[in-house]
Amino acid sequence: MCQNHTTTTKVLSVASATAPFERTTLERRVLRPHDLLIDIQFSGICHSDIHSAFGEWGEGIFPMVPGHEIAGVVAAVGSEVTKFAVGDRVGVGCFVDSCGECEYCLSGEEQYCTKGVVSTYNALDYDGNPTYGGYSQKIVVTEGFVVRIPDALSLDVASPLLCAGITTYSPLKHWNAGPGKKVAIVGMGGLGHLAIQFAHALGAEVTVLSRSLNKKDEALSFGADHYFATSDPATFTELAGRFDLILNTVSANLDVDAYLSLLRIDGTLVNVGAPAEPDKYHVFSLIMGRRSIAGSLVGGIRETQEMLDFAAEHGIAPQIEVISADQVDEAYQRVLKSDVRYRFVIDVSTL
Q: Which residues bind Zn ion (CB under 5 A)?
A: 46, 48, 163
Identify whether 132 is preceded by a cis peptide bond (ω within 30 of 0).
Answer: no
Please answer whether residues 329 and 29 qualify as being in contact, where contact means their C-beta atoms are separated by less than 8 angstroms.
no
211 binds ligand NAP (CB under 6 A): yes
338 binds ligand NAP (CB under 6 A): yes
58 binds ligand NAP (CB under 6 A): no
Other CB atoms within 10 Å distance of the CB of residue 61: 14
**Least separation in angstroms between CB 45 and Zn ion:** 9
Q: Name the residue number minimizing CB distance to ligand NAP.
A: 189
187 binds ligand NAP (CB under 6 A): yes
Using a 10 angstrom Cβ sphere, with 0-12 exposed, 13-18 middle and 19 or more buried, the burial of residue 75 is middle
172 binds ligand NAP (CB under 6 A): no
Number of amino acids touching ligand NAP (CB under 6 A): 29
298 binds ligand NAP (CB under 6 A): yes
Beta bridge partners of 205: 182
Strands 226-229 and 243-248: unpaired
* Site stretch for ligand NAP (CB under 6 A), options 47-55, 125-133, 139-147, 233-241: 47-55
297 binds ligand NAP (CB under 6 A): yes
**Least separation in angstroms between CB 188 and ligand NAP:** 4
* Site stretch for ligand NAP (CB under 6 A), options 46-54, 73-81, 133-141, 303-311: 46-54
197 binds ligand NAP (CB under 6 A): no
CA separation for the pair 259, 198 (Å, rounded): 21
Q: Is the dihedral of CA 243, 249, 250, 255 positive or negative?
A: positive
Q: Name the residue number minimizing CB distance to Zn ion.
A: 46
Q: Which of 37, 81, 157, 163 binds ligand NAP (CB under 6 A)?
A: 163
Q: How far is CA 286 from each of CA 175, 263, 274, rounded to the nearest angstrom?
A: 17, 10, 21
Contacted entry of ligand NAP, Zn ion, none for residue 334, CB cut-off 5 to 8 Å set by kind:
none
b/e burial code for range 249-281 (CB count within 10 A of at least 16 → b): bbbeebebeebbbbbbeebbbbbbbbbeeeeeb
273 binds ligand NAP (CB under 6 A): yes
